[in-house]
Structure 1
Amino acid sequence: MSADTSPQQEPEYHYDCVVVGSGHAGSCAALSARDAGCARVLIVDKCPPEWVGGNGFFTAGAHRTTHDGVRDLLPVVQNVSAEAAKNIDMDPYTAEDFTRDIMRLGDGRSDPQVVKAVVDGSRGAVQWLAERAKVPFILSFNRQAYLVNGRHVFWGGLVLSVVDGGKGLIAAHRAALQEAGVETWFNTAATELLVEDGAITGVIVKKEGATLKLRAPAVILACGGFEANKDLRGKNLGVEWERAKVRGTPYNTGDGLALAQRVGARLIGDFAGCHSTCWDANAPADRGDRVLSNQFTKSGYPLGLMLNAAGARFVDEGADFRNYTYAKFGRAILAQPGGVAFQLWDAEVAGWLRKEEYADDVVERITADSIEALAEKLGGKGLEDKKAFVRTVAKYNEAVHAFRAEHPEKAWDPAVKDGLSTQSSTLKLELPKSNWALPIEKPPFLAVKVTCGITFTFGGLAIDPDTARVLSDATGKPIRGLFCAGELVGGLFYGNYPGGSGLTGGAVFGRKAGEGAAKLMSAA
C-alpha cells in the first residue's frame, strides 16, 4: 500500500478496515472483513512477529459451543470417525445450558444480550472457523473426557479443542489471512484514533519509531485487556495482583481501553475480575513461555487436594468440574500466604493427571513415601507449617472414610459429579470436598507448587451485541466506525467464566465486527 505524503505531515495510508491486535479475535475480524467485501484489510500489532497471536497462542484452543451431541460435531472435528463415535458418551449442550453456565458463574450479572449473542453465534462460529480458517478442531479427549468402563465420557459441557492447542489455532489463522491477502504490520503500536464529526476515520500508529496515519472507515479493537500491565492490575484488581504471573502475551497492557476512552467510549463490566488459574509456581513472572504455553496450567486439583503454606485447605476442590472452577481458583491461591499453594495426590489417582501438565519434564514433581516425609520436602519449597499439613491430610482422610462407611453404594467417577464427599452424619469438615473425595493414603505421594496465573481481565468496552460496535458513554449509541472483539468486550464475564467461552466469544464478535466494517466501507 503506497502512502500519501506532504511536507510536515505524517505519511498517510488508506485501508477499508484496520484491526488492532493479531490474536484470535483480531484474526477472525480481519478474515471476516475481507470476506464481507473489504478489499484492503490491515492488522497492526505492537508485538514483534515472534509474539504473534496474543493470548490465543497460549490457550489449549478450547471452544465452547452449543451442539446436539457427538454426531452433530463429526463434520467439524478431525480425530473421530463415525465408527469411533459409537464409543463416546456426550450429552447435547443446548443454548439454555450455555446461557445458564455463564449466568450462574457470573452470579447473574452478565449482560443477557451479550451472552445471547455469544451463545446463539457459537455453533456457526465454530463451523466457520473449521471451514473458512481451516482450524483443525478435535474432540478434547485428553482434557474433557475420561475413559470409564471402556467408553469416553465427556463432562462439563466443553468438548472441542484444536490440534496443537493455541499454537495450532494461530497457525491456522495466519495461513488463512495470508491466503486472503490480509496484511499485518508488527512492531506497530496504535496510539490515537482519528475522529471526524463524531465518527472514527482511522488510527495513528507508531511503526518502528515512525508516526503513520492510517485512514479507514472502520477500526476494530481486538488488542486484549490490561492483564500484562502491573500498575493497572494493582489499580483495578488490588495491589496483591501485582505479583500474579502473566500467563500469556506481555503486550496486553490496556491500550485498547485507553484508545477507546479518549474518544468517549463507555466502559462496562467487572474491572475487579479476571480469568486466573492454578499456574506453575516456577513459570516466568511477566510473560508466557512460547514453547510450554498452556502446559504451565495445573488443573488436576479435583482429583486431590490443595493446601496453602500454612498447611490448610482453602477451596472445595470438588465443588464443580474443573472448567467451571479453574478460572477463579487462581484468585484464591493469590490470597494465600505468599500467594502459593501445593497440590497433592497419592498413587491411586496420580496416573489420571494429564501428562502435558504434570510430566517430569514439565513441572517440578515433589514425591515421598509418607505424608510426613513429603511435608519435610515441601518445607524447603515454602511450606511454613509442616505439622498442620500432616494434620490436614489426616483429618481429610478420616472424613472420607466416615462418608464412605455411611454410603458404600457411591463409587468414584471423575466423569460425573459423583457425590463422594467428606460430609457424613458423623464427621463434617468445615471446608468440604464435595465430589471425587478419595483418601490420600497410597504411596508414593506427589505434590507440585502452584501460584496464580492471570489470563485476561473481564472489564472492557460496552458494545452493541448485534454488531460489535462500541457504544458512546455520552449517548449510549454506537460510535460510527469503531468496533470491538475479544477480551476487550465488557459485560460478558463477571468473577468467573465457563472454560472455552472466551475463544468462542472472540470468534462471534470478531465475525460481527468484520461484517460491520464491510457495511461501513460499502456505505462510504
Structure 2
Amino acid sequence: MVLADRCDILVVGSGNAGFSAAISAAESGTARVLLIDTCPEEWAGGNTYFTAAAYRTVHGGLQDVLPLVNNVSPEQIVNIELAPYLERDFSDDIERVCSGRSDPKLARILVKDSNSTIKWLASHGIRFQLSFNRQAYEVGGKIKFWGGMCLKTQDGGKGLVADHRAAAQASAVTVSWSTTLISVQNDSSTGNSIVTVKKDGRQQTVDAKAIIFAAGGFESNPRMRSEHLGPGWDKAMVRGTPFNTGSCLELCLRDLNAKAVGDWSGRHSVAWDAAANPTTGDREASNEYTKSGYPLGLMINVHGHRFVDEGVDFRNYTYAKFGRAILSQPEHVAFQVWDARGAEWLRDEEYRPERVERITADSIELLAQKCASRGLHDAE
C-alpha cells in the first residue's frame, strides 16, 4: 500500500493498546487515523497475540457480566457462583500485589474505568466469554469463580487481535505493516509532528497532528532487559513478539524529551516452558507455554530445593512474579512437581501432553533419577 503523507492521528503499535486508541480516535470523529507497526502483517498484534486475554474488571456479579459474554446458556446460569468484584477489591489488590509502588492516579483511572472500558470494547465487536477453563472450578455442584478475574476474550489473544483488526477496518482506520518509526520532529509553523518512517526499504515523511505511542515494550531486547531489569535478564526467554525491541521508547526519551517515570525494575514474568524457543513466541502455541499450575504442587531448582511458597496466594496474584524467582535460580530453570491427585487438576491449556514434557514415576526416588537426565543435579 502507498502510505499517505498526512493524517490526523498516528498510532504506533498494533497491540491491544494501539488498536483501542485507533478505534477510539476514529469513533471520536477523527477523519484520518493511521496505525503503523514495524512488524510484518503475519506478526500483527504485538504481545497481545500471545496472552490468554484475561481481563480484570470491576463488576457487580454475574448479572453485570452476562450481557457481555457469548458462552453461557440459560441452563448454566443457576449453577454459576460469581461474587461481585468492587472498586475497593480492585484497588486493594493493586496496592497489595504492587507493594504500594503503583501510581495512585493511574490506578484510580484503571479501577474506575475498567467496567465501562470492557463494555466499550464489547460494543466494538470484542467477543468476551466467562473464563471457565482458567478461572473456575466445580465445587459442590456449582461452578465457582475465584481470584477476581472472570472474563477472557474468545480464542484468547489470537481472537482479541482478530476482533480488533475487524473493528479497525469497520472504523476506517488505515493500518500499515512493516512500517518502522525513524524520527519525530516538531513543525513550529503548524504545531504538527513530521514523522519519518521506513517502509518497503525507503524512508518517507508523514505530517501528523498528533501521535499516540503504544509500542514501548523492550521484552525482546536482551541489552535493555539487562540494563533496566538487572543482571541475568538478558537470559530470560521471550514469551511474545520478537519486534518489541524498545526502539520506540528510546526514541521518545532521546528525541522528544519524554520523562522516564514508574518502576523500571518491575516486570511481568511468568513460569515459561524451558523447551520453548528462547528468542521468540510461537504463533501457533501462543500462551500454552505458560506453566502456572504450581499452587497444586512444588517447584524445585536443579539442586532439588524449593525457593518460593507456591501457595502463598491465588495464582492470579503470584504468576507474574514467580518467573523472576525461577530466573534467579541456578541455570535459570525449575522443575514443577505434583502428586497424582494434584496432577488431575492441571489445565489442558498449559499442560496437555502434546505441548509439555511429563516425567512420571511411582516413587520420589525414581522420579528424581528420571529428572537427573533432564538437568536435576542432586538426585539423591
TM-score between both structures, scaled by the size of structure 1: 0.71
- Report percent identity of matched pairs: 53
Matches within 5 A, 1:76-115: 76-115=68-107
Deviation per CA, 1:23-42: give whole Å up to 9, x if none.
11100011111110111111
Structure 1: distance between partners of 2:343 and 2:192: 55
The aligned counterpart of 1:351 is 344
What amino acid does structure 2 have at the position aligned with 1:160? L
Q: Which residue type is aligned with residue 356 of structure 1?
A: E
User: Cα offset for 1:239?
Assistant: 2.6
The correspondence for 2:140, drawn from 132, 136, 149, is 149
Q: Are the counterparts in 2 of residues 295 and 356 from structure 1 also a CA contact under 8 Å?
A: yes
Q: Secondary structure of 1:333's partner?
A: helix
Indicate the larger mover: 163-172 or 97-106.
97-106
Aligned with 2:245 (options 253, 259, 263) = 253
Matched, 1:340 2:339: no
Correspondences of 1:1-40 after superposition (within 5 Å): 13-40=5-32
Judge conservation of contact 2:187–2:194 (CA < 8 Å) in 1.
no
Query: Shift of residue 259 of structure 1?
Result: 2.0
Residues 230-288 of structure 1, C-alpha deviations (whole Å, 9 max, x = no match): 11111111230111001001111112211211211111111111100100000011110
Task: Choose 1 or 2 for highest CA Rg.
Answer: 1
Moved over 4 A (4+): none
Q: Distance in 2 between matches of 1:135 and 1:102?
A: 25
Match of 1:375 in 2: 368
Q: What does residue 271 of structure 2 align with?
A: 278
**Matches of 2:85 and 2:188 in 1, distance apart?**
46
- What is the CA–CA distance in structure 1 between the aligned matches of 2:212 and 2:328, rounded to whole Å? 36
C-alpha displacement of 1:68: 0.4
Alignment equivalent of 1:310, drawn from 300, 303, 314: 303
Contact preservation (8 Å) 1:202, 1:219: no
Q: 2:379 aligns with which of 382, 386, 395?
A: 386
Please tell me whether the aligned partners of residues 74 and 81 of structure 1 are also in contact (alpha carbons under 8 angstroms): no
Give the Cα separation in 2 of the matches to 1:298 and 1:373: 23
In the alignment, is the contact (CA less than 8 A) between 1:61 and 1:162 conserved in 2?
yes
How far apart in 1 are the matches of 2:232 and 2:349? 29
Distance (whole Å) between structure 2 residues aligned to residue 234 and residue 116 of structure 1: 31
Structure 2 residue runs without a partner (length 5+)? none
Task: Find the residue that maps to 1:328 and give its secondary structure.
Answer: helix
Structure 1 Cα separation of the partners of residues 267 and 337 of structure 2: 26
User: How far, CA to CA, are the matches of 1:176 and 1:90 in structure 2?
Assistant: 30
Cα pair 1:200 1:219 within 8 Å, conserved? no
Per-residue CA distance 1:352-391 (angstroms, 9 max, x = gap): 100121111011111111111110111011111112xxxx
SS at match of 2:17: helix
Provide the residue aligned with 2:210 in structure 1: 218
SS in 2 for 1:143: helix
SS in 2 for 1:250: coil
Does residue 45 of structure 1 match 2:37?
yes
Asked if the contact 1:190/1:204 (under 8 Å) is kept, the reply is yes
Match of 1:152, SS?
strand
**What one-letter code is carried by the residue in structure 1 that aligns with 2:123?**
E
User: Is the CA contact (8 Å cut-off) linking 1:19 and 1:221 kept in structure 2?
Assistant: yes
Counterpart residue number, 1:241: 233
Q: Answer yes or no: is 1:193 the counterpart of 2:164.
A: no
Query: Which amino acid is the alignment partner of residue 371 of structure 1?
Result: I
Local SS of the residue matching 2:109: helix
Distance 1:2 1:48, change over 3 A: closer
CA distance in 2: counterparts of 1:255 and 1:311, whole angstroms:
40
Cα distance, 1:88 vs. partner? 1.1
The superposition leaves residues 8-64 of structure 1 with CA deviations (integer Å, 9 ceiling, x where unpaired) of: xxxx70001111011111000111111101111111110011000001100111111
Partner of 1:247, secondary structure, is: coil
The code of the aligned residue for 2:162 comes to A
Counterpart check, 1:129 vs 2:121 = yes
Matched, 1:362 2:355: yes
1:64 aligns with 2:56: yes
Deviation string, structure 1 residues 302-330 (Cα, Å, up to 9, x no partner)? 00010111101000000000010000000
Q: Deviations over 1:74-128 (max 9, x none)?
A: 0001111344221111111011111111111111111110001111111111101
Determine the C-alpha separation between the residues in 1 that align with 2:279 and 2:319: 20
Shift of 1:136: 1.1
Q: What TM-score, normalized by structure 2, do the two folds share?
A: 0.97
SS at match of 1:216: strand
8 Å Cα contact 1:18-1:202 kept in structure 2: no
Q: Is the 8 A contact 2:192 2:207 kept in 1?
A: no
What is the RMSD of the two structures over their aligned residues, measured on CA atoms? 1.4
Distance in 2 (CA, whole Å) between partners of 1:224 and 1:74 is: 34
Secondary structure of 2:68's aligned partner: coil
Counterpart Cα distance in 2 of 1:255 and 1:173: 24
Residue 208 of structure 1 deviates from its aligned partner by: 2.0
Note if contact 2:220-2:242 (Cα within 8 Å) is conserved in structure 1: yes
Q: Which residue of 1 aligns with 2:290?
A: 297
CA contact (8 A) 2:137 2:145 kept: yes
Contact conserved, 2:215 with 2:249, CA < 8 A, in 1? no
- Once residues 129 and 313 of structure 1 are traced to their aligned partners in structure 2, the CA distance between those partners, rounded to angstroms, is 42
Letter in 1 for 2:150: V
**2:268 aligns to what SS in structure 1?**
strand
> 1:2: how far off?
7.2
Q: Where does 1:505-520 land on structure 2 (aligned, <5 Å)?
A: none
Aligned residues of 1:18 and 1:43 also touching (Cα < 8 A): yes
2:165 is aligned with what amino acid? R
Q: In 2, distance between residues paired with 1:2 and 1:366?
A: 54
**Relative contact order: is structure 1 or structure 2 higher (C-alpha 8 Å, sep ≥ 6)?**
1
SS at match of 2:170: helix
Q: How far does residue 137 in structure 1 lie from its aligned partner after superposition?
A: 0.5
Question: How far apart are 1:73 and its partner, in Å?
Answer: 0.3
Match status 1:321 vs 2:319: no
Q: Distance in 2 between matches of 1:84 and 1:77?
A: 13
Identify if the C-alpha distance between structure 1 residues 381 and 2 changes in structure 2 by more than 3 Å, giving closer, same or farther.
closer
- Counterpart contact for 2:82–2:144, Cα < 8 Å: yes
The residue that corresponds to 2:166 in the other structure is 175
8 Å CA contact 1:202–1:218 kept in 2: the answer is no
